A and B are shown apart, each in its own frame.
Chain A
Amino acid sequence: MIPPRRSGFAWMGLIALATVGLVWLLFGNLPEPVIRDRFVVIPQGWAYILGAFVLVIAGIAASAYWYGVATRPGRAVAYAVTMGTHMFIWGVILAIFYPVVYLLAVSFNRNDTLAGALPREGNLLVRSGVLPNPADFAYVQYEKVLSQTNILGYQWVVIALLVLMALALLGLGIARKVFPITPHRADRWSAWLGWGLFLTTAVLVVSITPSQFYGVNEAGERVAASSERVIVLYVRNTLLVSGTTGLFAVLIATSAGYAFARMRFEGRYQTLLTFVFVQMFPGFMALVAIFWLMVRLDLLNTFTGLILAYSGGAIAFSAWIFKGYLESVSPALEEAAMVDGATRWGAFYRIILPVSVPMLLFIFLLQFIGTYSEFILANTLLQGQENWTVGIGLRNFTTGRFDTQWGALAASAVIGSLPILIIFYAFQDALTGQYAAGGVKG
Chain B
Amino acid sequence: MLAGRLLVPDLPAWSGLVIGTFGLIVALVVIAQRFTWIMPWYYVLPAIVFLLTFTFFPIGLTVWLAFTDYSGIRNGQLNPVTTTDIVELDDTRLVIADPVGFNCADLRNGCVDVRAQVLSLSSVTVPAAAYANGVITLEEPLAPGRTVVEVELFLPDMGFDFTASVVGVDGADLLLERPMPFPPDLEAIRVSIGDRLLRTIVAEDGAVLTLNTPLPADFDATAIARYNDYGFIGWRNFATIISRAQRSLIPVFTWNVSFALLTILINTAFGVLLAVLLNNPDLRFRNVYRTLLIIPWALPNIITIQVWKGFLNENFGAINRVLMLLDITPEPISWLLGDATTARAAVLLVNLWLGLPFMMTATLGALSAIPRELYEAAKIDGASPLQSFWGVTAPLLRTALVPITLTGFAFNFNNFNIIFLLTDGGPAVEWGTATARGTDILISWAYNEAFRSQGGFAYGLGSAISILIFVITVAVSLVNFRVTGALKEVRNT
CB distance from A212 to the nearest CB of B (A): 21
B289 and A373 contacting across the interface, CB-CB below 8 Å: no
A45 and B44 contacting across the interface, CB-CB below 8 Å: no
A440 and B55 contacting across the interface, CB-CB below 8 Å: no
Instruction: Give CA–CA (A128, B332) in the complex, Å.
Output: 13
A37 and B324 contacting across the interface, CB-CB below 8 Å: yes
B463 and A288 contacting across the interface, CB-CB below 8 Å: yes
Chain B residue at minimal CB-CB distance from A99: B311
Chain A residue at minimal CB-CB distance from B406: A442
Instruction: Give CA–CA (A214, B447) in the complex, Å.
Output: 34
> B390 contacts the other chain (Cβ, under 8 Å)?
no
B365 and A440 contacting across the interface, CB-CB below 8 Å: yes
Given A252-B46, A276-B487, A376-B420, A404 contacting B368 (CB threshold 8 A): no
> A197 contacts the other chain (Cβ, under 8 Å)?
no
B487 and A273 contacting across the interface, CB-CB below 8 Å: yes
B327 and A265 contacting across the interface, CB-CB below 8 Å: no
Instruction: Give CA–CA (A390, B406) in the complex, Å.
Output: 30
B residues near A272, Cβ cutoff 8 Å: 490
B residues near A199, Cβ cutoff 8 Å: none
B414 and A256 contacting across the interface, CB-CB below 8 Å: no
- Of the listed stretches A144-152, A157-165, A431-439, chain B binds A431-439
Chain A residue at minimal CB-CB distance from B480: A442
Chain B residue at minimal CB-CB distance from A34: B327
A residues near B297, Cβ cutoff 8 Å: 424, 432
Given A128-B321, A286-B61, A319-B47, A391 contacting B327 (CB threshold 8 A): no
Instruction: Give CA–CA (A265, B481) in the complex, Å.
Output: 23
Specify which of A301, A380, A416, A425 is in contact with B451 (CB 8 Å cutoff). A380
> A62 contacts the other chain (Cβ, under 8 Å)?
no
Chain A residue at minimal CB-CB distance from B481: A442
Given A252-B46, A424-B298, A436-B368, A390 contacting B303 (CB threshold 8 A): yes
A114 and B325 contacting across the interface, CB-CB below 8 Å: no
B residues near A41, Cβ cutoff 8 Å: 324-325, 327
**Docked complex: B328-376 residues within 8 A CB-CB of A:** 328, 331-332, 353, 356, 358, 361-362, 364-369
Specify which of B291, B366, B416, B474 is in contact with A277 (CB 8 Å cutoff). B474
> B383 contacts the other chain (Cβ, under 8 Å)?
no
> A253 contacts the other chain (Cβ, under 8 Å)?
yes
B residues near A209, Cβ cutoff 8 Å: none
Chain B positions 16 through 53: 1 when the CB is less than 8 Å from some CB of chain A, otherwise 0 = 11000000000000000000010111011011101101
B321 and A289 contacting across the interface, CB-CB below 8 Å: no
**Docked complex: A30-48 residues within 8 A CB-CB of B:** 33, 36-46
Chain B residue at minimal CB-CB distance from A114: B316
B178 and A130 contacting across the interface, CB-CB below 8 Å: no
The listed residue with most B CB atoms (<10 A of its CB), out of A99, A380, A409, is: A99
A residues near B303, Cβ cutoff 8 Å: 390-391, 394, 413, 416-417
> A139 contacts the other chain (Cβ, under 8 Å)?
no
- Of the listed stretches A178-186, A310-318, A334-342, A359-367, chain B binds A310-318
Chain B residue at minimal CB-CB distance from A313: B55
> B144 contacts the other chain (Cβ, under 8 Å)?
no
Given A272-B490, A288-B459, A441-B484, A384 contacting B51 (CB threshold 8 A): no
A residues near B216, Cβ cutoff 8 Å: none
A residues near B51, Cβ cutoff 8 Å: 274-275, 278, 312, 315-316
Given A36-B324, A42-B327, A285-B443, A293 contacting B61 (CB threshold 8 A): yes
Chain B residue at minimal CB-CB distance from A372: B300
A253 and B47 contacting across the interface, CB-CB below 8 Å: yes
Chain A positions 401 through 442: 1 when the CB is less than 8 Å from some CB of chain B, otherwise 0 = 000101001100100110011001100100010011111111
Chain A residue at minimal CB-CB distance from B47: A256
Chain B residue at minimal CB-CB distance from A300: B181
> A263 contacts the other chain (Cβ, under 8 Å)?
yes
Specify which of B16, B278, B451, B473 is in contact with A280 (CB 8 Å cutoff). B473
B62 and A286 contacting across the interface, CB-CB below 8 Å: yes
B40 and A263 contacting across the interface, CB-CB below 8 Å: yes
A residues near B421, Cβ cutoff 8 Å: 375, 391, 395
- Of the listed stretches A86-94, A166-174, A187-195, A215-223, chain B binds A86-94
A316 and B308 contacting across the interface, CB-CB below 8 Å: no
Instruction: Give CA–CA (A205, B57) in the complex, Å.
Output: 32
Instruction: Give CA–CA (A72, B94) in the complex, Å.
Output: 104
> B326 contacts the other chain (Cβ, under 8 Å)?
yes
B320 and A298 contacting across the interface, CB-CB below 8 Å: no
A residues near B332, Cβ cutoff 8 Å: 37, 39
Instruction: Give CA–CA (A375, B402) in the complex, Å.
Output: 29
> B454 contacts the other chain (Cβ, under 8 Å)?
no
Specify which of B39, B41, B322 is in contact with A344 (CB 8 Å cutoff). B39
B54 and A311 contacting across the interface, CB-CB below 8 Å: yes
* Further 15 A-B residue pairs, CB within 8 A, beyond A46-B326, A440-B400: A93-B289, A269-B490, A269-B491, A275-B47, A276-B490, A287-B447, A287-B466, A289-B65, A293-B54, A298-B14, A312-B51, A315-B50, A397-B306, A417-B300, A440-B404
Interface residues of A (CB under 8 A from B): 33, 36-46, 49, 77-79, 81-82, 85-86, 88-89, 92-93, 96-100, 102-103, 114-115, 124, 128-130, 252-253, 255-256, 258-260, 263, 265, 268-269, 271-278, 280-290, 292-293, 296-301, 304, 308-309, 311-313, 315-316, 319, 327, 344, 348, 369, 372-376, 380, 383-384, 390-391, 394-395, 397-398, 404, 406, 409-410, 413, 416-417, 420-421, 424-425, 428, 432, 435-442
A-B contact pairs, 13 of them (CB 8 A): A102-B311, A256-B46, A259-B44, A276-B481, A282-B414, A288-B466, A289-B58, A289-B61, A301-B181, A344-B39, A373-B300, A409-B307, A417-B303
